[in-house]
Chain A
């Protein structure tokens, strides 16, 4: 299936959703446009453009600049690690989560245990000093108080 067809249909669905939301929010009148005015017309414009893209997609074929299927599962694993970081951040605290996150990624890249542990610990410590102590960012603390 041509790439533009897939993405075009996706945006079309989003456009319909936006337009429907716009209608539900009330368009208002022209001399007093309501909150739904912009989302509705934004959705309409996006929808029309998507249709143009979908219709012209067969002509352009399935050529793209980069292969669609990732060569490795790494991006997926990293996406998971990022989500894990965010979900655990406020329960375990900044230092613990940061250490685990860095350790995980270094091991993912097949770095040795010694290198990974030392780098992760250094990374967690330096970023804590830099952001919490120096830049006064309010980073979440864990059960141990850091």
Chain B
């Protein structure tokens, strides 16, 4: 009953006109971000963070969350019509979605992507509604050793899901941990890696680092490629509704994708991208006609699109119950909550029930808005996609510059973004991934505090991590994950 009370309360909060407006703005911007290739949700949310300082914490988070799951809807539009992924999470949608467009079935593809997204998004919010309060009660009993062990497991998972080499992913995590130590040490008050520079004394800002790694560097990489003439399929004006035949083929993939996506979304480093690939692989294996995949199989659109939306919902679990972000976007939301004086984690549901339930219920509303919005707006997005990248990117850069500056009205943050833009560009060139770095940078300070507090608790004995069963379990799982790739290396194709 407690949950139903919470949901009712949440709807009271989320249905307030001002919050509805923020939700609408969020999902609208989100769809736009999803549609535009080369602008991901992390790079788009980061510069908008300062603009929410004046809003109430509920409204701010509702909007930022809306951008995140809204982007999952928008990404499919570009994949299907242009064969360029609007979002990293809709890369696989290109395969069959664009093939369908070539066969004149763009309408069915867009339709099933939108409905699949809606069904999966809603299912995952339902799961979040029931799971989050329950988990928050469990994690309430976690002490510093459990937190440290859990975060170690989280960082290990992150590298387990790495697309490039495990060693490189672990290195990025280590670099991220070191980046997290920049600034004033919370326990001793000493400055670390600051070199007398004001901006560094406050610690590396999350917003400028994310915009550098995911915004600026992306533009720099795109600049190297000679612009190809984009072939945009005219969006159909009618027949966006999938036929009964389409539904029969898509229902099971959507449900499977929802479950898969939700659970992969919870895991740090897995998230929407891995979820969409996993769903595609599962559907292809489950299909009686795997040869149709890549040639316009509607299951190949329905499954992955469901999975990436479900993952967006799942990603809120660790944030709301543990205060640990599962991906870069959640890291920004964590920052947003803290700026508004809230401590994300198991206590959030007690301390700020309006925020906790308001965010969750706003996602039901946001998903419904997206379903209604998405299909009628497709002709507008198609027109927007005709704007060449050479006209678009100066504005993306400007947007990042303003965002970095306005976090603290400091040019220093802009310089941090600039440096990390170059770093991100070089990382791509040398085949490293930026995601483990970001997460480790956010988790680092929490992890350090948990470790040092644990050692103070145990008077310097590492036994505390083994003698407490939950902590020991997490650490054991982390060790297994680290060893597993070494054992399986030879048997894996890629």
Chain A residues in the interface with B (C-beta under 8 A): 3-4, 6-7, 11, 14-15, 18, 21, 25, 29-39, 42-43, 45-46, 49-50, 52-53, 56, 64-66, 68, 70-72, 74-75, 78-79, 82-83, 85-87, 89-90, 98, 101-102, 105-106, 109, 111, 119, 123, 127, 131, 135-140
Contact = CB atoms under 8 A, between A and B. Distances in A.
Contacts of A83: 418
Contacts of A3: 430-431
Given A25-B190, A71-B224, A53 B171 contact: yes
A18 B398 contact: no
Contact of A18 (B178, B221, B411): B178
Contacts of A137: 50-51, 402, 406
- For A3, A15, A38, the residue with the greatest tally of chain B CB atoms inside 10 Å of its CB is A38
A96 to B, nearest CB: 14
Nearest to A66: B429
A90 B411 contact: yes
A71 B226 contact: yes
A14 to B, nearest CB: 7
Given A49-B170, A89-B411, A137-B51, A35 B224 contact: no
Contacts of A111: 390-391
Given A127-B398, A135-B51, A82 B411 contact: no
A90 to B, nearest CB: 6
Contacts of A39: 178, 181, 192-193
Contact of B402 (A6, A46, A64, A127): A127
Contacts of B397: 78, 82, 101, 105
Nearest to A46: B174
A74 B391 CA distance: 14
Contacts of A138: 406, 409
Contact of A79 (B51, B402, B422): B422
Task: With a 10 A CB-CB cut-off, give which of A50, A72, A109 has the most chain B CB atoms.
Answer: A109
20 contacts: A18-B178, A21-B192, A25-B190, A30-B460, A31-B459, A42-B177, A46-B174, A68-B429, A74-B224, A78-B397, A79-B220, A82-B418, A86-B411, A102-B398, A105-B393, A106-B391, A119-B391, A127-B398, A137-B50, A137-B406
A33 B406 contact: no
Contacts of B428: 66
Interface of B: 50-51, 54, 167-168, 170-171, 174-175, 177-178, 181, 185, 187-188, 190, 192-193, 216, 219-221, 223-226, 390-391, 393-395, 397-398, 401-402, 405-406, 409, 411, 414-415, 418, 421-422, 425, 428-432, 444, 448, 451-452, 455-456, 458-462
Contacts of A45: 170, 174
Given A21-B192, A68-B429, A86-B415, A42 B174 contact: yes
A139 to B, nearest CB: 7
Contact of B193 (A21, A33, A68, A71): A21
Contacts of A78: 219-220, 223, 397
A101 B444 CA distance: 36
A98 B37 CA distance: 23
A99 to B, nearest CB: 11
Determine which residue in A6, A29, A74 has the highest number of CB atoms from chain B within 10 A of its CB, and name it.
Answer: A74
A136 B185 CA distance: 33
Contacts of A46: 171, 174-175, 178
Nearest to B447: A38
Contact of B418 (A6, A86, A106): A86
A70 B414 CA distance: 24
A31 B455 contact: yes
Contacts of B394: 101-102, 105-106, 123
Contacts of B178: 14, 18, 39, 42-43, 46
Contact of B414 (A15, A35, A71, A89): A89
A72 B224 contact: yes
Contacts of A74: 223-224
A4 B429 CA distance: 11
Contacts of B422: 79
B220 A123 contact: no
Nearest to A120: B394
Contacts of A14: 175, 178
